[in-house]
Structure 1
Amino acid sequence: MILTAAPSTSLAEIHAVLAEKNQRLGFDPADWSRLLGSNGVATLAGVAPALTALRRIAAGSTTQADFDAVGNDWDVESRLQQVLHAHRLGHLSADTPAHTLSGGESMRVALAAAWLSEADFLILDEPTNHLDGASRQAMTDQLRQWPRGLLVISHDRELLATMTRIVELSSLGLRSYGGNYAAYADAKAVEQASAQQTLAHQRHERRRDTQAMHEAEERQARRAARGGQQGKDANQAK
């Protein structure tokens, strides 16, 4: 699903609605800048607390807080590495510093984290902005693999071409179009042609009505003039 444009308030509202429905979200818009400024891949992927606690336990910690932090994620590090490898990021590890990553790698690691979280929805706002061609293609390939709900706000037509539904947000509200951007563009062209035809017809009808009104006024004026002249002639005859 795609929104071709949406202000940040709309994105926040969408996020709030999904949260109210107890949908697990793979991306919180408010956290994006924080994630990009994180210390390492583990933090960017959202597994740093569990991984840190797991390593403390491996070193001998028996603190209940560490066991609570791990929960059932005893294989979190291996699962992270598997996900990174599956998304062509296998050259990274949990300890890779975030500042060594390119912008595209940072965003792709955050996306890969959604697979770890098993989120119900993935929400992205202009995800391909400031990415080079290779990074954009890698992200597009990554999104194609996402198996659940996906909501993307984007003006990237190449990205929109890979989607299966376009939702247009305008001052008139939301309009949903099945198909990718090409199908959306075709549908909009048909709508615009129809609107122009309707407008032309309305203008033609308005001109015709205006002309008919003027002709009626002229006929009435001529009749009134003839009536006045006939009255004068009758008075003169007397």
Structure 2
Amino acid sequence: MSYSVVIDHVSFGWPDGTQVLDDLDAAFPAGRTGLIGVNGSGKSTLLKIVAGELAAASGTVSVAGRVGYLPQNLPLRADLTVSDLLGISSTRAALHAIESGDVREEHFTNVGDDWDVEERALAQLSALGLDGIGLDRAVATLSGGEAVMAGLTAQFLNRPDVLLLDEPTNNLDLPARRRLYAAVEAWQGVLLVVSHDRALLDLVDQIAELREGTVRLYGGTLSDYERVLAAEQEAAERMVRAAEADVRRQHRELMDARTKLDRRVRYGAKMYATKREPKIIMQARKREAQVSAGKHRIMHTEKLEEARERLTGAEQAVRDDAEIRISLPETEVHAGRMVLSFDLTGPAGTDRLEVRGPERIALLGPNGSGKTTLLKAIVAAGVEVPVGYLPQRLDLLDESLSVVGNVRAHAPSASENQVRARLARFLFRGARAEQPVGTLSGGERFRATLAALLSAEPPPQLLLLDEPTNNLDLSSVRQLSQALAAYRGALIVASHDLPFLEGLGITRWLRLDPDSGLTEP
């Protein structure tokens, strides 16, 4: 098998000493590969190293051809245009100069063979659902989903040999996701994609799992991987049960052997005391019994230790993916209580959004329809109950403070022990709770932000979540669902992730459309 990306003994750590990758070896073959792993395992860091965005502390990376890279968070600076994001501004400027009569050689050099660059760019934008976006439009005015598709357009225009995508379905509505799936299926080069999107991961040729510092390849899609993993875990659990039974058996045999040997020693002592045989024979038998007892004890002890070692090995083969376990009775909202009454004015007129009791509302709508704007407006307007808002970019926390420090800022009356106990339920234990927020992975940052929001004083009885599954691995999405299952307040979730929404026990579905306003689909 030929490999397109080879990672050889690569190590990387952050300046604060946090080690992300340690002597990692991996090789990714041609075709489409889905890179999965728990948040914090180093997936995004590995992509950045392959793309040349980060330099490894040691080791080498070999890539067969030119690399294209689409990061999780594209730069949305106010001074950037779509043309800048696509990387064609200098070529367009030279082309326009030539068209206006400026025939200097440097302009022809800049254009090269790209005389149709604008037509190709607009055609590619249109193919990805962005036919209404001009090349001179400011990137900062794009929605999150539009920015992702524009970034993907840039990669397709560049035609790299190896394309790296980091959570490309973040912020994409369902039509945009389908266009992305079609583009991935049609991609002829090498693709390495980090994603939690099940539909996307069911389009790849192989799954690469980064776990505990090693990469393991599984042939097939995510569904194939899960079937293999389930069979492996079932076999591992059987091995644990067999090893536990072996430990119990070896322990019983050791106890039985000790009992028998103790009896023999007592019998020898009794015979010696009664002097039924010559003294020299009695002493020889006593020594033989002691030697025999020692040998048997050592033999059975060694067997017991070997059985325990087999049990330890079997237990290590069983995955222990930690789960968030929290209880939030103080967030409870009684049925029928008015939580929110908000007037939304748009082209279609004024819509009133009312939320009563512990409703769970899913807010749907195409990219650019105003879902994020609506959530921010609700926060700014003020509501009848304490409100918590989780934005897409997770920028609520102070990056210079530790996780503990951030949660304490939201819960000033809580003691440090109380804060640490809460954080442990969000899987931040010991030194992990002391990490600066700026060094956390996307999923870790999400858990820290959620811990701060739900620990706030007073606790939120209305929770607004904007695309909460962005940047989360499959395990973290499950953990988020567990946390929200314990939440007893009202909930409004803007998301395109239908499987996630369906698992939340949504009580009402709303759709926001620029033309028709807020409706129930």
TM bucket normalised to smaller = 0.7 to 0.9
Matches within 5 A, 1:82-231: 82-231=123-272
Alpha carbons 2:70, 2:155 under 8 Å: kept: no
Secondary structure at the counterpart of residue 33 of structure 1: coil
The TM-score with structure 2 as length reference comes to: 0.42
How far does residue 79 in structure 1 lie from its aligned partner after superposition?
1.5
Letter in 2 for 1:130: N
Partners of 2:47 and 2:224 in 1: CA distance? 24
Call closer, same or farther: CA 1:185–1:119 in 2, change over 3 Å.
Answer: same
How much has 1:29 moved relative to structure 2?
4.3
Matched residue, 1:4: 36
Larger Rg: 1
Range with bigger deviation, 105-114 or 215-224: 105-114
Quote how far apart the aligned CAs of 1:220 are: 0.6
**For the Cα contact (< 8 Å) 2:207–2:218, is it kept in 1?**
yes
Output the amino acid matched with 1:177: Y
Any conservation in 2 of the 1:23–1:121 contact (CA below 8 Å)?
yes
C-alpha distance in 1 between matches for 2:212 and 2:167: 20
Amino acid at match of 1:23: G
Relative contact order (C-alpha < 8 Å, sep 6+): which is higher? 1
SS class of match (2:67): coil
Give the CA deviation at 1:191: 1.0
Report how far residue 84 of structure 1 moved. Answer: 2.2
CA-based RMSD: 2.3
Q: Are the aligned partners of 2:35 and 2:43 in contact in 1 as well (CA < 8 Å)?
A: no
2:74–2:147: 8 Å Cα contact kept in structure 1? no
Instruction: Identify which range, 182-191 or 36-45, moves more after superposition.
Output: 36-45
Residue 199 to residue 167, structure 1, CA distance change in 2 (3 Å): same
Tell me the distance in 2 between the aligned counterparts of 1:61 and 1:187. Answer: 63
Counterpart in 1 of 2:50? 14
Count of aligned pairs between the two proteins: 232
Give the distance between the partners of 1:159 and 1:55, measured in 2 at CA. 39
Give the distance between the partners of 1:8 and 1:163, measured in 2 at CA.
18
Change (3 A) 1:196 1:210: same
Q: Is the CA contact (8 Å cut-off) linking 1:104 and 1:136 kept in structure 2?
A: no
Percent of paired sites with the same residue: 33
Equivalent AA in structure 2 for residue 12 of structure 1: K
Partner of 2:338: none
Amino acid paired to 1:152: V
Please, which of 57, 60, 65 is the counterpart of residue 23 of structure 1?
65
Which is worse superposed, 143-152 or 98-107?
98-107
Structure 1: stretches of 5+ with no match in the other structure = none
1:178 is aligned with what amino acid? G
Give the structure with the higher percent helix.
Answer: 1
The residue that corresponds to 2:470 in the other structure is none
Query: CA, structure 1 residues 138+182, in 2 after alignment: closer, same or farther (shift >3 Å)?
Result: same
1:216, 1:82 → 2: CA distance?
A: 82
Structure 2 gaps of 5+ residues are: 1-32, 53-59, 277-521
Q: Tell me, in whole angstroms, the C-alpha distance in 1 between the residues paired with 2:123 and 2:173.
A: 25
Instruction: Tell me which amino acid in the other structure corresponds to 1:107.
Output: V
Q: Retained in 2: the 8 A contact 1:15–1:28?
A: no
Matching residue's letter, 1:111:
L
Runs (4+) of structure 1 exceeding 6 A deviation are: none
SS at match of 1:150: strand
2:143 partner letter: S
CA contact (8 A) 1:166 1:179 kept: yes
Q: Deviations over 1:10-63 (max 9, x none)?
A: 222222466x54621222649x633x4363222222211101111111112123
Point out the structure with the larger strand share.
Answer: 2
In structure 2, the residue matched to 1:58 is: 99
Residues 155-202 of structure 1: CA deviation (Å, up to 9, x unaligned) = 222322222211000115111111111111111111111111122222
